Amino acid sequence: MEELYRLSENLKQLRKEFGYTQTYVAEKLGIKYQSYHAYETGIAVPTLKHFIELAKLYEISLDELIQ
Protein backbone atom coordinates (compact mmCIF):
# COMPACT_ATOMS: atom_id res chain seq x y z
CA MET A 1 0.00 0.00 0.00
CA GLU A 2 2.86 2.36 0.79
CA GLU A 3 4.24 1.86 -2.73
CA LEU A 4 0.93 2.96 -4.20
CA TYR A 5 1.01 6.12 -2.08
CA ARG A 6 4.56 6.81 -3.22
CA LEU A 7 3.58 6.34 -6.85
CA SER A 8 0.69 8.77 -6.48
CA GLU A 9 2.92 11.36 -4.85
CA ASN A 10 5.65 10.86 -7.47
CA LEU A 11 3.20 11.32 -10.32
CA LYS A 12 1.87 14.54 -8.82
CA GLN A 13 5.35 15.89 -8.07
CA LEU A 14 6.73 15.08 -11.53
CA ARG A 15 3.71 16.59 -13.25
CA LYS A 16 4.12 19.81 -11.30
CA GLU A 17 7.89 19.92 -11.89
CA PHE A 18 7.29 19.66 -15.63
CA GLY A 19 4.48 22.22 -15.51
CA TYR A 20 1.90 19.82 -16.92
CA THR A 21 -1.79 19.69 -16.12
CA GLN A 22 -3.59 16.45 -15.35
CA THR A 23 -5.55 16.93 -18.57
CA TYR A 24 -2.32 17.22 -20.59
CA VAL A 25 -0.85 14.04 -19.11
CA ALA A 26 -4.12 12.18 -19.63
CA GLU A 27 -4.14 13.23 -23.29
CA LYS A 28 -0.55 12.06 -23.71
CA LEU A 29 -1.55 8.67 -22.29
CA GLY A 30 -4.70 8.53 -24.40
CA ILE A 31 -6.98 8.26 -21.37
CA LYS A 32 -9.66 10.37 -19.75
CA TYR A 33 -8.80 13.01 -17.18
CA GLN A 34 -10.70 11.05 -14.52
CA SER A 35 -8.55 7.98 -15.11
CA TYR A 36 -5.32 9.93 -14.71
CA HIS A 37 -6.70 11.73 -11.65
CA ALA A 38 -7.34 8.28 -10.13
CA TYR A 39 -3.63 7.47 -10.61
CA GLU A 40 -2.55 10.60 -8.73
CA THR A 41 -4.99 10.02 -5.88
CA GLY A 42 -4.13 6.35 -5.47
CA ILE A 43 -7.58 5.10 -6.44
CA ALA A 44 -6.22 3.24 -9.48
CA VAL A 45 -2.87 1.91 -10.66
CA PRO A 46 -1.60 2.58 -14.19
CA THR A 47 -1.38 -0.29 -16.63
CA LEU A 48 2.10 -1.46 -17.62
CA LYS A 49 1.68 0.41 -20.92
CA HIS A 50 0.89 3.62 -19.05
CA PHE A 51 3.78 3.09 -16.61
CA ILE A 52 6.12 2.93 -19.59
CA GLU A 53 4.57 5.99 -21.24
CA LEU A 54 4.80 7.98 -18.00
CA ALA A 55 8.46 7.07 -17.56
CA LYS A 56 9.16 8.22 -21.12
CA LEU A 57 7.16 11.43 -20.64
CA TYR A 58 9.20 12.32 -17.55
CA GLU A 59 12.46 10.90 -18.95
CA ILE A 60 13.03 8.60 -15.98
CA SER A 61 13.28 4.84 -15.42
CA LEU A 62 10.37 2.74 -14.23
CA ASP A 63 12.24 2.23 -10.96
CA GLU A 64 12.48 5.98 -10.40
CA LEU A 65 8.77 6.33 -11.05
CA ILE A 66 7.83 4.06 -8.16
CA GLN A 67 10.61 4.83 -5.66
CA dist., res. 38 & res. 34, Å (int):
6
CA dist., res. 40 & res. 48, Å (int):
16
Domain spans of the chain, in order of start: 2-66
- Bigger pLDDT: 20 or 4? 20
| Predicted confidence (pLDDT) per residue in 6-17, tens digit | 899 999 999 999
Helix (H, G, I), strand (E, B) or coil at 54: helix
Note the pLDDT of residue 3: 62
Is the pLDDT assigned to residue 26 strictly greater than 80? yes
Q: What pTM value is reported for the model?
A: 0.90
Per-residue pLDDT band at 60 (split at 50, 70, 90): very high
- The CATH code of domain 2-66 reads 1.10.260.40
- CB count within 10 Å of CB 54 equals 23
Q: How many CA atoms lie within 13 A of 11 on its CB side?
A: 25
